[in-house]
Amino acid sequence: MSKITIFNHPLIHHKLTIIRDEKTNTKDFRQTINEIATLMAFEATRDLPVKAVKTTSPIAVATTYTLDCEVVIVPILRAGIGMVDGIQSLIPTAKVGHIGLYRNEETLEPQLYYAKFPPTIKNAVVFLVDPMLATGGSAVAAIDILKKQGAKKIIYMGIVGVDQGINNLSSKHPDVDIYLAAKDEKLNDKGYIVPGLGDCGDRIFGTK
């Protein structure tokens, strides 16, 4: 089964307060989403493989460790884009793929409109990122696409999720570990997370 990590950290709680606040402006919202992604990535990358190398310091030769895998970050458009810079600030060599999905507002079913990936995706550790895990339909569809591309190691990072989305994702893709900054109460009748953040894509890009 998926390993599920819900963060309980003072800095993440503090930053969640900022993004939940309806008065937070676009610039601060986007910056804080990225900061949360950075903090989460520190933990979500804990099991990345490393290899030992010899490094000569000004004093002596030391055995040190470097990352021994490719990392690919795949945001689900649009809102996932808001987490990419925050993760790349820790892993600047990470490549970036994109999956464009939007939810049909009536059926809540995800509709695919774009997909593009770096060729290394098959052997990379892939971080699928999207701030909102609501019904889980978008995350499940995105992972179906990644697996069709040959991705073997996928980690999901979101900011706010609910049980419905977590259970949907972990039952369809039990090999994918899930990291969330917060688990909220429920979905409302429009499929929005309660209390949530509102429409995350609109708040990141200022489109409403």
Which residues of this protein are in contact with ligand PRP, per CB under 6 A? 76-79, 101-103, 108, 110, 130, 132-138, 165, 191, 200-201
Clarify whether 144 is annotated catalytic: no
CB-nearer residue toward ligand URA: 185 or 199: 199
Tell me which residue of 41, 100, 48 sits closest to 75, measured CA to CA: 100
d(CA 21, CA 25): 9
Residue 157 found at the interface with ligand URA (CB under 6 A): no
Mention every residue, 6+ apart, whose C-beta is less than 8 A from residue 115: 97, 98, 99, 100, 145
CB atoms within 10 A of CB 16: 18
Residue 131, SS3 per DSSP: coil
130 binds, among ligand URA, ligand PRP, none (CB under 5 to 8 A by kind): ligand PRP
- Nearest one of 22, 149, 26, 5 to 79, comparing CA atoms: 26
Task: Specify the residue, 129 or 193, whose C-beta has the smaller distance to ligand URA.
Answer: 193
Which 85-144 residues touch ligand URA, going by CB under 6 A? Answer: 132, 134
> How many residues touch ligand URA (CB under 6 A)?
9
The nearest distance, CB 92 to ligand PRP, in angstroms, is: 25
H or E segment at 165? Answer: helix 163-172
Interface of this chain with ligand URA, residues 10 to 39, rule: CB under 6 A: none
| Distances 158 to 42, 134, 139, 201 between C-alpha atoms, Å | 14, 10, 10, 13
Binding partner of residue 193 among ligand URA, ligand PRP, none, CB cut-off 5 to 8 Å per kind: ligand URA
In this complex, which beta carbon is closest to ligand URA, that of residue 16 or of residue 72?
A: 16
What single letter denotes the amino acid at residue 105?
A: E
Q: Which residues bind ligand URA (CB under 6 A)?
A: 79, 132, 134, 192-193, 196, 199-201
